């Protein structure tokens, strides 16, 4: 493919139609099993083209995710830099949702903090170590993934083209207003991931807030370079610090983050149904 392919080229448009068809069939990224290779720029071009198709059929873009933010995730996926993907309202689940494995390709989850924007970020939001003032709410989420990479080797282009293997997220209606997030709160914060009451991952202290700060700044800069903007009301998944956890058996997943609240989801092998109403 051209090193400068974008979403307007006929080739990218054809790939996008195939990519979305395979995603809808719960067989994401089949293009890459056929030998297609993309660089980072081409991966984002294909991601944008698929996003355009999803918006054209009525899906609402509600924010973004930042992925590959921690060393654990980078080593797991074989990627050495951050990536971003898009969030859609059709894939936002309310806490307590029942998730059917037939709706995913090798379901895996991450537990992380998400933010809601009060306004578009500005440069001064990132001058200190405090929580950026453009944030109005912080809350825990369970991010859902199609944990499949079909290329012959690990590729950032494939990961990005597959919307950073994002397949939805579960969130509660609670959270903590950014006005209540002091330095003491940051130091005492924690996030713990449970599967059937067994702890499978945790993160304590300031690293949670460092991740929020660095992920939002990185995303803002990346989108600005492509002429895109962050807006009030958008949700940003700021990235997991623990690794990505495959989910094979029926179970209850719970992410508890003091002082931000908790979120739960139940995974079953039962009949696939449409997602629950957005949170």
Reported as a single tens digit per residue, the pLDDT across 123-167 is 999 987 778 999 999 999 999 999 999 998 879 999 999 999 999
Entry pTM: 0.90
pLDDT in tens, 56-104: 999 999 999 999 888 888 887 778 899 999 999 999 999 999 999 999 9
pLDDT at 8: 52
pLDDT at 275 over 60: no
Q: Phi and psi (nearest 5°) for 76?
A: -65, -40
Q: Residue 63: CB partners within 8 Å, gap ≥ 6?
A: 86, 87, 234, 235, 236, 237
Homologous superfamily of 60-268: Fumarylacetoacetase-like, C-terminal domain (3.90.850.10)
Strands (E) in the chain, as ranges, are 61-67, 83-88, 92-94, 97-100, 107-117, 135-146, 166-171, 176-177, 190-195, 198-204, 235-237, 245-246, 251-258, 261-268
pLDDT at 12 over 70: yes
pLDDT at 250 over 70: yes
Would you list the domain boundaries of the chain? 60-268
């Amino acid at each position: 493919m051209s090193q400068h392919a974008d979403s307007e080229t006929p080739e990218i448009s054809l790939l996008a139609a195939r990519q979305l068809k395979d995603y809808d069939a719960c067989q994401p990224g089949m293009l890459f099993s056929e030998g297609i290779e993309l660089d980072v720029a081409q991966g984002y071009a294909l991601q944008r083209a698929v996003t355009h198709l999803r918006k054209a059929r009525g899906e609402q873009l509600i924010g973004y995710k930042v992925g590959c933010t921690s060393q654990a995730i980078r080593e797991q996926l074989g990627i050495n830099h951050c990536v971003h993907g898009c969030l859609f309202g059709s894939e936002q689940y309310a806490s307590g949702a029942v998730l059917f494995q037939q709706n995913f390709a090798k379901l895996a989850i991450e537990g992380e903090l998400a933010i809601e924007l009060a306004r578009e970020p500005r440069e001064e939001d990132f001058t200190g170590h405090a929580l950026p003032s453009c944030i109005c709410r912080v809350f825990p989420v369970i991010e859902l993934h199609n944990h499949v990479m079909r290329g012959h080797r690990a590729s950032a282009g494939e990961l990005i083209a597959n919307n950073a293997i994002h397949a939805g997220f579960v969130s509660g209606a609670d959270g903590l207003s950014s006005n209540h997030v002091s330095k003491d709160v940051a130091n005492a914060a924690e996030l713990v991931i449970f599967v059937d009451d067994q702890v499978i991952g945790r993160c304590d202290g300031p690293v949670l807030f460092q991740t929020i700060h660095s992920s939002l700044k990185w995303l803002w800069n990346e989108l600005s370079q492509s002429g895109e903007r962050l807006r009030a009301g958008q949700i940003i998944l700021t990235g997991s610090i623990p690794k990505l956890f495959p989910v094979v058996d029926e179970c209850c997943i719970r992410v508890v983050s003091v002082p931000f609240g908790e979120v739960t989801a139940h995974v079953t092998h039962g009949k696939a149904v449409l997602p629950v109403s957005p949170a």
